[in-house]
Amino acid sequence: MRKNERQGFENLRRIIKVERRGSRGDKTYEETAYYISSLTASAQVFAKIIRGHWKIENQLHWVKDVIFEEDKSEISDFQAASNWSILTTIRIESFQRFGFSLNNRGTEVVS
């Protein structure tokens, strides 16, 4: 990076490239993701951090999108959308505390 391009990235220590391959149903996929960090951790530490992020993404945000259809929301005001997202998270946590499993089969129960 040239000196003038580093503005705002002074603490950048690592650029991480993650390549993923897999299948969903009968379709295969390949994707590449890049992450930046101010940490000087090992590849193993970054792998754990990134997997942890995707675990949250898959456990919470998947439920918010698939079951509660959050991505289909027509709320255009940023603050209102943020508030609605918080309320959806509270609903999900409440269902889970009462023992409901939020998966495809549980959709009818909680929607």
Residue 15: the pLDDT is: 92
Domain map (residue ranges) of the chain: 3-110
The mean pLDDT of 87-107, rounded to a whole number, is 77
> Does 7 score more than 70 pLDDT?
yes
What one-letter code names the amino acid at 97?
A: R
Name the token pair of 90. 């509270």
pLDDT class of 78 with cuts at 50, 70, 90:
very high
In Å, how far are 77, 84, 111 from 80, measured between CA atoms? 5, 6, 20
When computed from its CA atoms, the radius of gyration of the chain, rounded to whole angstroms, is 19
Q: For the segment 28-66, what is each residue's pLDDT rounded down to a tens digit?
A: 999 999 999 999 999 999 999 888 877 777 777 778 887
Spell out a b/e string for 37-72, using b for 16 or more CB atoms within 10 Å of the CB, else e. Answer: eeeeeeeeebeeeeeeeeeeeeeeeebbeebbebee
